[in-house]
Amino acid sequence: MAYLDNIAVFVRVIELGNLSAAGRDMRISPAVTSNRIKELEKHLGVRLFNRTTRQLMPTEHGSIFYSEAKQILAAIAKAEASIANLSGQPRGTIRVTAPLGLGRRLIASGIPEFHDLYPDIEVRLRLSDHTVDILKEGIDVAFRLGDIEDSSLRLRGIMECERVLVAAPDYLEKRGEPAQISDLIKKKHDCLMLRYPGSREFYWTLQTPSGPQKFEFHGPYDSDDGDVLTQWALAGRGIINKPRFEVEAYLRDGHLREILTQTPPTPVQLAAVYPHKKLQDTKVRMLLDFMAERCQRLIREKLNGLAATPTGK
């Protein structure tokens, strides 16, 4: 079993790129992670990584062993899932990722509830507004808001979410309320964008009489955290493009005001994506069913004013 544990650590080091990240993911210390790699190298009689002060790169032997080791772990996981299916007692670990705002509002609080129902299933949640490479990093389920273009993944749609353009009343009083899309550009309004390395969101797609059109807008600063954009908007610093359920409480209490209601942003799809093979894993299907129902219910509650007002005004 120790040998399989060492292989599992090795695979996570490759997938996550460094010892510390792999250790955190597997809940072991960097020292233990390093020792397990050394034990594996000693057993195999080869060096698996080239180590420098800044990088940890697999050797040729390491790359070959990773390809085969990943298949071994996948076969074991499939075998365990088959037994769990027969016994009716799913167990194991599910790695989940979601954007920061979506994860905080809808996913994170549901993890303990899911674990209460299925105590033999461990869930490891990673929240990030950066796009996570699901296959490379060994993610089982990713919840996303937006277009899903990766054809190598399966998609389960959860619901379509309306988006709105909003700003604080004091910003609109100071800068003037846009009457049409061109006002955002001509009057040089501050549009606060979600941007990060690899991001493609350098524009907003708005619904016009001619159909959906992409427009490039600009602002004095941007962020890779969607909740930071909301806080800036609440502080009167600019206009943001958000799913309505995220800002509905602020619209209701007057801290934000919707603008350009005749040409709103196009809706965005809330969906779960996962590798094709995970469809056979009962615990993954159970998590998808649980979270899909929960997300739909919480979003409706937020839109109907039944959920608590967001914190951090």
Average model confidence (pLDDT) across the chain: 86
- Quote the pLDDT of residue 1: 66
Element holding 158 (H helix, E strand):
strand 153-161
Distance CA 231, CA 42 (A): 52
Q: Which residues sit opposite 72 in a β-bridge?
A: none
Q: Which CATH number fits domain 1-87: 1.10.10.10, 3.40.190.10, 3.30.365.10, 3.40.1280.10?
A: 1.10.10.10
Q: Where are the domains of the chain?
A: 1-87, 89-161+267-313, 163-266
| Least-confidence region, from 6-15, 48-57, 151-160, 210-219 | 48-57
Give the mean pLDDT of 241-255: 95
**Each residue of 163-199: pLDDT tens digit?**
999 999 999 999 999 999 999 888 789 999 987 655 6
Alpha carbons 98 and 141: distance in angstroms, whole number: 9
Residue 311 has pLDDT above 60, yes or no: no
Give CA–CA dist 71/54, Å, rounded.
29
Domain 163-266 bears CATH identifier 3.40.50.1580? no
pTM (two decimals): 0.72
> What's the pLDDT tens digit per position in 102-137?
898 899 999 999 999 999 899 999 988 777 888 878
Task: Please name which of 123, 249, 261, 130 lies closest in space to residue 196, comparing C-alpha atoms.
Answer: 130
Fold agreement between 89-161+267-313 and 163-266: yes
Superfamily of domain 89-161+267-313: Periplasmic binding protein-like II (3.40.190.10)
Mapped onto helix, strand or coil, the DSSP state of residue 247 is helix
